[in-house]
Homo-oligomer: A and B are copies of this chain.
Amino acid sequence: METIKAKKDKIRKLTGSKAMVQALEQELVRDKNIIVMGEDVGKYGGIFGSTTGLYDKFGPERIMDTPISETGFIGAAIGAAAAGLRPVVELMFVDFHGVVMDQIYNHMAKIHYMSGGNVKLPIVLLTGVGGGYSDAAQHSQTLYASFGHLPGMKVVAPTFPEDIKGMLIAAIRDDNPVVFMFHKTLQGLGWMDQLQASLGPVPEDAYTIPLNKAKVVREGKDVTIVGVQMMTIEALNAAGKLAERGIDAEVIDLRSIKPIDKETLLKSVAKTNRLVVVDEDYLSYGITAEISAIMASEGFHHLKSPIVRLAIPDVPIPYSRVLEKYVIPDAQDIINAVENMITV
């Protein structure tokens, strides 16, 4: 929230999706080279509300519905970016990345490097992530690490409306490719779970929030819990309950999947000496792995007990509610883990 001058700005409560739309709208006005492309981003306004109303304001020339041709239109975004546009392009669900991953990681992510810095690709790839509403194995993933593993893209996954707006504007203004993951449940849509956290204060004027910084969303001294998006929400819920039991947890909202803000993490664990990482992505080679590794190599001496990893055990996401609930970590899992860790 670095650039807000609180005095002058109006601040209103917006949902995650409205924060996205506001960011896009302000930027579309500011820079004529921005176009938005994707399936159902036009009249429909984006399946998860990321572009609601923009078609009416900016018309089909700037808000372009596409065929179901992700390689075609995300590939075209690359060519258009090289030719001077600043495309914001939506991959409706991150689960579909496999039909277009070549364009994303072999081209969008690498061309700047392969060209020795001569070609710039200012592209924002919006994509919806997350489960918890029984959309089953092909529509519920987050795949944070699938993107975080590959060099050449910034990958962000903000949680709160204020961060969503500020980081989206920062992403649009960045001259590098940025993968911007929005969590479906945090969009505050009328037809999904209504979470308090999906509505929050958002300054009206345009502002940017850095793409590479985690945020301490709750200070504490006994244990550090790192989450991202819905897992940050679960961590905050857990921290609330843990407080009642006399455990003072610090909660960090990762925000940036790549690069990871090591500094904030190391500082926290230097204080708490204990680390729990919670992830809505798969366990192996995921966020719990990377953060644990950072700690075991660069923060080793801070640690006084084994790190705890909570994530989707290495199974596809099942459909049936009872099964899905079982595999996605929640506040209770975190509480159990922390209580196990700390003998109060």
Contact = CB atoms under 8 A, between A and B. Distances in A.
Contacts of A152: 315-316
Contacts of A305: 300
Contacts of A298: 306
Interface stretch (A79-87, A164-172, A190-198, A279-287): A279-287
Interface in A177-210: none
Contacts of A296: 292-293, 295-296, 303, 306-307
B297 A284 contact: no
Given A290-B284, A296-B306, A305-B300, A102 B98 contact: yes
Among A260, A285, A287, A306, residue most surrounded by chain B Cβ atoms (within 10 Å): A285
A255 interface: no
Contacts of A322: none
Nearest to A258: B284
A290 B300 contact: no
A67 to B, nearest CB: 16
A76 interface: no
A103 B292 CA distance: 31
Contact of A101 (B98, B259, B295, B306): B98
Contacts of A42: none
A95 interface: yes
A326 interface: no
A6 interface: no
A130 to B, nearest CB: 16
Contacts of A292: 289, 292-293, 296-297
Given A109-B316, A146-B149, A149-B281, 6 more contacts: A99-B102, A148-B285, A149-B149, A151-B314, A285-B287, A296-B307
7 contacts: A98-B101, A146-B149, A149-B282, A259-B284, A285-B287, A288-B293, A292-B292
Interface of A: 71, 95-106, 109-110, 113-114, 136-138, 145-146, 148-152, 258-260, 281-282, 284-290, 292-293, 295-298, 300-301, 303, 305-309, 314-316, 318-319
